[in-house]
Every structure is written in structure tokens, then in C-alpha cells.
Structure 1
Amino acid sequence: MNITLRQLRAFIAVAELGQFNLAANSLHLTQSAVSILIRDLEEEIGARLFDRHTRMVCLTLVGQEFLPQARKILKDLELAVGDVRDNASLKRGQVTIAAAIVLAATIVPPIIARFLRMYPEISVNIRDMPEEAITPALKRNEVDIAVGTLSEDDTEISATPLLRDKLMLICREDHHFAKRRSVSWAELKDENLIVLAATNPLRNLVEHNLIRVVPNFRPKYEVRFSTTAISMISAGMGVGVLPENSSQLASAVQVKTIDLVDPLVMRDVSLLQRRQHSLSPAADRLRAAFVAWAADRAGFSSRD
């Protein structure tokens, strides 16, 4: 079946106005063009839609049954096009962003809050999750974009750098490292080390550097969340190696953040998305907000 929108508009106009010439004027077409559109529509449907009289036309029974359906088709199309235009103009839209637990509690909320002040009609859903859950969520199309650490190249995921922060030693305030300005990786060999899960990208960074100076490295505890590790450190159960921005979550507990050196290890925080996958206008604008935040932050740091 090859029914066109022009045919439907012509059919509705003739049905409502009762004359081909009036319908033609309303559609800015010639009367013969409207006649051809109606004829072609009747041929596609396989039934007459109008009974023609000398000056007037009236709907056949088939035409009476078809008219509300034709109106609904056009109305649904107008609503669909309106929705697309509203989304494109950011008058409405929805974005789902994933973020690693610590990042979701530190850098992400202020950026989204500023974004929503600019685009209040857009709904932003935040899914905080472990680092290792972010890439699978992107690949399953459960989230539009994400903020996290990509531990290795992935042909399905693109990464736009947002910031770099260093790995730091976290210990309790009364720990023998607490008054030091820095601690080397090698000095961790006799400590009860609390590490993140083996699937977490940060774990790879920690193990890579520890094994070089402590070949027989074995963690004392393994947890899934940085917040759990910080609480355990506060309870005196050991020390941990976490990103620098984790210290923002440690202010309420009795722990210290100390530079970890020899070597100084950095990790990249990136804006992640699926490769060769177009973002919605709302998601693309939120992505741009994060990239702009990173650029502003880099510019501020260069002036310090």
C-alpha cells in the first residue's frame, strides 16, 4: 500500500468542506490536483470514498468509516513531529547518565545542577554504580553517557578526557603514616591493604604499581565501594589507595589523605559513550556541559 500524506490531507479537506474547489483553495492546490489525489487514494484503498454530485460531494459509507482513521493518522504524526522538534530544541527530553560511586557523589551533581538551571524541561536520571558496571551498562543501552575510568581500549566505547587525579594513600588519623607528607609504594608492603574489587579499573592501577615493588603483594580486604573502604580505614582495619577526589567523602571520618609517590600514579576520568551511536539532543547537550566543565577546569589550573 502506497498512501501518502498529501492524499490523506486532500481526503480530509474534501470531506470537511464538501467541495473539491474549496478543498483545493485550503490546500493551495489546483482542483485537478486534488481530484487526482482523491482518485489515487481510492485506487490504493480499492473503494470509492465520495459520491460526486453536480456541485457537492458526500462521503460514502467506506469514506465515513475511513475519515476518523485518517484524522488520527495525521494527528499522531503531528504529535510525533512535535515531540521530535521539542527534543531537538531542548524543550523536553530525557538523559540517563551513569557515574562511578565517588564521581557521582563529587563532581557530577554540580555539573548536572547547572545544566538543569539552563534546561529545566529536560529530565536527567543519574545511575551511580561501581566502575566495572559502567561499560556493560553503556553497551546494553541502559544509559546514554557515563563518567568513569576506562581501564583499556574498547572498540565499542569512546572516551573524552575530563580530568586527571592521582592515587593517594588513605589512612586513619592515628596511623603511623598520618603525619607524613608522602609515602612510597614500597612502604605499603607490611600494611593491611584494603582494595577495591578485582573487576574495578582502579584495582588494575593499584596492583600494577604494587607488584613492581612488592612482588608477593596480597590484599587484606577486598570491597566493592570506595565508601566502604573509607569506613573500614576509619575503623582502623587497614589503609587504602584511592583517587584523590575520594578525600571529599572522607571529611566526616577520622582519616588522612597522603601523597603516594615513587611513582606518582595518575588515573584518567573520562566522559564515556558508545562509538558510532548518535546521542539524543538532550544527551549531546549534557555531554557538552561536562566537556565545557573540563575545559574550564583545565583553564583555571593553568592559571594557578
Structure 2
Amino acid sequence: MNLSKLRHVIAVERTGSITKASEMMNVTQSAVTKSVADVEREIGYALFTRHARGVSTTEMGSAFIARAARILADMDQLIEDAQARRQQREALLRVGIAPSSLEGLLNRAVRSLIRKYPDYRVQLHGVPVERGIQMLRQGDLDICLGPLDRLSAESGFTCEPLGMLNGRLFVRKVHPLTRLEKPRADEINRYPIIIPDLSGAYVDRILALVPSEQAPPSLRVHILENFPMVTEIVGTTDTIGVVSAGYAQSRTFKARFTTIPYDLGEPMPIAAASRKEWLPTRPMKHFMAAIQAHPPIGYEPRASSGTPCRPEAGPAVTPR
């Protein structure tokens, strides 16, 4: 018994004729006859009484066919709902950036994607690293960009390594620190510092700048994920922010800010992760292609791998 045979049986009941049912279903009479016989043999009783001019439904057959019709209606609705959901997913791309201060990584890629595929709808979500991982795990994101070491801890993710993120401290052009050739840690920690996320890149190195005897390091820094907000604060106060070395080379950045020559340690590997159990949608494929075609400022993308997340070395990346 299968859905096709049940559809043949229901067509016979509705038309009262195997011939008319075959015409309605656009199949041969022998196919309909076989379907009816197969179902009757499996359930152990007759569905129809045969007459010279057609068939009529038996009492037990009527109950069986009524239930079969409800099942098929539910199945048709299930298929229709699944197709509608697929169409929605085929037009929607939900990308998480963890932390949100890395949103500038995607400027050129997203612009290219939207221009080339105007029917797509892109949703960018700037989130803390742990929140981005949770949203991807729950299916609330299609792709999450973030630290490779954190994404690699999730066995259910597949990663595309993007390279290495180089961070820099930055200040407004007219800032007391700009008068120093190479500021020391004690000279830097005189000023407030903004970091995007306590689990983000260079946090340990930056928190080490804050004397622990004064207060817990996490209470001596601002935590702001919105990079445009950070630039407005840094641009109008003596506060220090964090920026990628690549974005720091852009004309937009250089017009207002300058970096501080202070070593924040080793670059951080970053990656784009997706759920292994989900097949990539067209927007996901085109988004990754856009990143390959339009890499973040100042970096060379890694070759696409599509392998489960795991830490590995990569080329220097200097996005915003």
C-alpha cells in the first residue's frame, strides 16, 4: 500500500468507475485495477462492488476510503507547507556576526550579493559569540561568522575557514596617546577601553591592561557591540576602541582615527559556520561565493573546504 494506490482508490470512489478514474488520474485502467486489487488484498476485504456500468463502495470500503482521503489531505497539506517553507528559505539568508563589531567584514560581499540577487532577503544579526552559536544551533541562523576556536567546539557545525583576524587599538586623531611613539601598558590604561564582547578576540590581552587591584577587569571596560556607536564615542572622547588592521587601512577609518602601536598578540582565526544537518540553500551558497569574490578588506580568503569545524592555521586576515 502506498499513496499512489490510495489516490487511485479514492478516484474510483469519486468517479464510480475504474475507466473514469484512470482518465482523471491520467494512468492506464490496468494500473488503477491493480491498485484497487493490491489494497483490497492487503486490508483483507473488498472496497467496491463491481457492476456492469461501474462500481459502488461497500460499507467497510466507505469507512476505509474516508479515512484514506483524510490522510491524503493531511499529506498534501504537509507537502504544500514544506514547499512553502522551502521557498521562504530559498529567498532568505540569516547571517550572524559574532561579535557584531565584525559586521564590516561583510560590507562588500553583502552589497554584491544583494545587487546580483535582488529577490533575496538578507538579515544580518550582530550577536555575542555564545549567542551566535546558540542561534545557529537552534536554527535561527543559516550562517554564523565568528572565532574558529569557538565554532570548532560544536560537533554539529560545518566550517569554511576565512583566515586570521588582526586586531588593533584605535583612538581619535587628536588624542594624548598619539603624542607617544610607542605607548606602554600603564599609559594606555589611563583611558577607558571599549571591547565588543568578553568572549571575543584579544579580550585577555586587553583586560591585562587594566590593573586588577583597582577593580575586576571586566568592570573597567565598556562592552559595546555596535561598531558605529563605538566610532562615535571614540571620535569624540579619549576612549580607546578595537578595530581590525585591515579596516584600519581604509580611507574612511584614516579620515577620523589612528591606531596605537601596541601588540595585541596572535591573530585570531575566523570562520563561517553552518549546521551539518541542513543542506545549503542557494542564498547560503551565493553568500559564500560572494565572500570568496569580495573578501574583507586586506585579506586573502582560504579555499572552500566544507569540512567540520576544527582549528587550523590560515593566512593573515585583516578585516574590520
TM-score after normalising by structure 2: 0.67
Give the 3-state SS of the residue equivalent to 1:177 in structure 2: helix
What's the CA shift for 1:163?
Answer: 4.7
Question: Kindly tell me: are residues 72 and 155 of structure 1, through their superposed partners in 2, closer, same or farther at Cα, counting changes over 3 Å?
Answer: closer
Which shifted more, 285-294 or 163-172? 285-294
What's the CA shift for 1:120?
Answer: 4.0
**Contact kept? 1:195, 1:203, Cα under 8 Å:** no
Cα deviation 1:202-248 (Å, max 9, x = unaligned): 2436348859xx99898643323253543443342432333236659
Post-superposition, which runs of at least 4 consecutive aligned residues in structure 1 deviate over 6 A?
Answer: 214-218
What's the CA shift for 1:254?
Answer: 8.6
Look up the match of 2:288. Answer: 288
Look up the match of 2:271. Answer: 270
1:225 lines up with 2:225 in the alignment:
yes
Look up the match of 1:102. Answer: 101
**Contact kept? 2:247, 2:253, Cα under 8 Å:** no
TM-score after normalising by structure 1: 0.70
* Gapped regions of structure 2 (runs ≥ 5): 302-314, 316-320
Q: Which amino acid aligns with 1:111?
A: A
- The structure with higher relative contact order (CA 8 Å, sep 6+) is 2
Look up the match of 2:306. Answer: none
Look up the match of 2:171. Answer: 171
Alignment of 1:1-304 (within 5 A): 3-24=1-22, 27-29=26-28, 31=30, 33-42=31-40, 48-59=46-57, 62=62, 65=66, 69=70, 72-73=73-74, 75-76=76-77, 79=80, 83=84, 92-99=90-97, 100-104=99-103, 106-152=104-150, 153-156=152-155, 157-178=157-178, 183=182, 186=185, 188-196=187-195, 199-204=198-203, 206-207=205-206, 220-225=220-225, 227=227, 228-244=229-245, 255-258=256-259, 260-262=261-263, 265-274=266-275, 276-282=276-282, 284-293=284-293, 298=300
**Contact kept? 1:170, 1:241, Cα under 8 Å:** yes
Which shifted more, 141-150 or 107-116? 107-116
Within 1, Cα distance between the matches of 2:123 and 2:53?
Answer: 60
Which shifted more, 67-76 or 193-202? 67-76
Which shifted more, 222-231 or 92-101? 222-231
What's the CA shift for 1:145?
Answer: 0.8
Within 2, Cα distance between the matches of 1:140 and 1:76?
Answer: 25
**Contact kept? 1:94, 1:124, Cα under 8 Å:** yes
Cα deviation 1:103-125 (Å, max 9, x = unaligned): 33x23354234324444444333
Give the 3-state SS of the residue equivalent to 1:202 in structure 2: coil
Paired-residue identity, %:
18
Q: Which amino acid aligns with 2:139?
A: N
**Contact kept? 2:18, 2:29, Cα under 8 Å:** no
Instruction: Quote the RMSD (CA, aligned, Å).
Output: 4.4
Cα deviation 1:185-212 (Å, max 9, x = unaligned): 657555324042662322436348859x
